[in-house]
Amino acid sequence: MKVKEIMERAGTVQTGRAIAYIKDALDEMNILSETHVTTERIDITKDQRFYDLPQDCVKILDIRCKHHNNEDSKYRSIPRSIYEPTIVDEDGS
């Protein structure tokens, strides 16, 4: 559906305001029900703990690591730690 059609249905002619709200709606939709999904692979570097999230990430759905609990180089979901480890990060980030 075109943006113009959505604006007509909502009864507005203010394009700038409508576009801003529709962008909010798209974010909200993806937070609530993940309509558009993609994956990104990043190298794990020895002694580097922190990695940047992709800039277009709205909601994280799954974090997987290669070799996690397997010897077949497969990707498996990894658990989220509630606490930070007592061994601090060596790269100081």
81 binding another protein? (CB under 8 A): yes
80 binding another protein? (CB under 8 A): yes
Q: What are phi and psi of 19, to 5 degrees?
A: -60, -45
92 binding another protein? (CB under 8 A): no
Question: What is the footprint of another protein within residues 18-77 (CB under 8 A)?
Answer: 18-19, 21-73, 75, 77
- C-alpha 51/C-alpha 65 separation (Å) is 13
Residues with Cβ within 8 Å of 64's Cβ and at least 6 positions away in sequence, in order, are: 75, 76, 77, 78
- Residue 83 CB, shortest distance to another protein, in Å, is 8
- Residue 8 CB, shortest distance to another protein, in Å, is 9
